[in-house]
Amino acid sequence: MSDPQNAQHPGDGPVVHGSVSHSQFAWGNETVTQNQRNDGPVAPGHEALAERVRELLRQLPEAGLPDRDREDTATAAEEVLAEITRPEPVEEGRVRRSLTTLRGALAPVATGVAAGATMGAQEWALAAIGGLTGIG
């Protein structure tokens, strides 16, 4: 019998040994959209940020962003929510870094640098960045 820790599974996809939580996998897809729900209790003092980020995520599918920018923005927004809804005390440095990443994901769209970004997407991204500035 072979050792499962060292077993080879060519072409079968990822193999996970041990417990895994809060993870998402996509395998063999050309494109994929994944969502996680981070709507648990929000750390005190971060309620406004949570609401803005959740609203951003609600509007994201209709914002007209190119696929890659939409995926980057969703990932960055989920990271912000994960940080402010986790059971451990919030690490403010992580929140600031996550917000910087989120604003950075929106910046190419807001400035018109992102290929395929429409004028509506640019306006939406500018408003989203403005709504995130000064929060968190």
pLDDT digits (tens, 9 = 90+) for 46-76: 999 999 999 999 998 888 777 888 898 899 9
End-to-end CA distance of the chain: 53
Binned at pLDDT 50, 70 and 90, residue 120 comes out as confident
Structure tokens at 99: 């917000």
24/53: higher pLDDT: 53
Task: Please name the amino acid found at residue 77.
Answer: A
- Could you tell me the pTM of the whole model? 0.65
Task: Please name the amino acid found at residue 28.
Answer: G
- pLDDT, residue 1, reads 53
- pLDDT, residue 29, reads 62
For residue 54, give the H/E element and its range.
Answer: helix 47-59
C-alpha to C-alpha distance for 75 and 98, rounded to whole angstroms: 10
- pLDDT, residue 31, reads 60
Mean pLDDT, the chain, integer: 78
Instruction: Return the closest-CA partner of residue 27 out of 45, 44, 15.
Output: 15
Binned at pLDDT 50, 70 and 90, residue 33 comes out as low
Cβ neighbors of 91 (< 8 A, separation 6 or more) are: 83
Binned at pLDDT 50, 70 and 90, residue 11 comes out as low
Which residue pairs, CB below 8 angstroms and at least 24 apart, start in 39-45? 39/81, 39/85, 40/85, 41/85, 42/84, 42/85, 43/84, 43/85, 43/89, 43/90
CA 131 vs. chain centroid, Å, equals 17
Binned at pLDDT 50, 70 and 90, residue 22 comes out as very low
C-alpha to C-alpha distance for 41 and 86, rounded to whole angstroms: 8
The rounded percent of the chain whose pLDDT value lies above 90 is 24
